[in-house]
Amino acid sequence: MKSERSAKVLGLLLFVVLIGWVLYMSAASGRRELDNEIKLITVTGNALLNENEYLAFANLDKDEYLKNMTLPVIKLRLEKHPYVKRADVELSKNNEVHININEKTIKAVLSNGNKVFLATDEFEVLPFFQSARIADIPMITNLSNDMLLEKNEILKTPGLVEAFKIMDAAEMTNEEISKKLSEINLRYGGDIILLFSGIKPPVILGRGNTAKKICEFNELLNGDNFDKESAMNSAYIDLRFNNEIFLGDVVNTGLEE
């Protein structure tokens, strides 16, 4: 019995010593990192904002902010930025910190009256910064429940889902059409209207059969069976009817609303 009790006590002591050693090494590692004065921070992977804007957001843009700074804190601060999906932080032997930013993918610009937001490919609504570098991204206007934009959360509404389908269909059909798509007007739940840069008439898409309608519009622009000149000089292009493309004037459509 004594030998068994001694073995248990010895095992417990060894376990306590092991735990103590792990905690000591963790603390020592933390102290070494704190003792290191960061000489330089570099940022890569950023496209939406420049390096200084990310560092300023995380309070890493001034030398006095870097004293007693640890890598986990740097990572945590950067990942609080609404545009950042993940930040990988490394410390070199020369006390230089390298940060690689993985940004969220911006799918569209959302317009809510005088306010502008960004939407990711995962339907997350983000604030829009004036310095954000976005190009060739369509604007989605007149969402029927646009008040939800203020919450900056996941906004997978039927209107936004439909708008994303239009963008995906345009991208899969013709890259040039996709690049020219400048606005998707959801008209608060009414017939969707598309605007394209370099194309004068608006396109009344309606609702449903999105891929088919985009293919028809592509055929209108690039096919041989349509009068392209008449279409481009019309007041609107109407794709709401099955297997038919109508050209007409604004008076009969309600586009003036």
106-252 and 36-103 share a CATH fold? no
CATH dotted code for 106-252: 3.40.50.11690
CA 223 to chain centre: 34
* 154-190 per-position pLDDT tens digit: 888 888 999 999 999 999 999 989 999 999 999 988 9
φ, ψ of residue 125 to 5 degrees: the values are -90, 125
**172 to 104, 176, 185, 210: CA distances (angstroms):** 22, 10, 20, 12
Domain ranges of the chain: 36-103, 106-252
Residue 52: pLDDT band (50, 70, 90) is very high
Q: What is the pLDDT of residues 95-123, one digit of tens each?
A: 889 999 999 999 999 987 778 999 999 99
Q: 36-103: what CATH class?
A: alpha beta
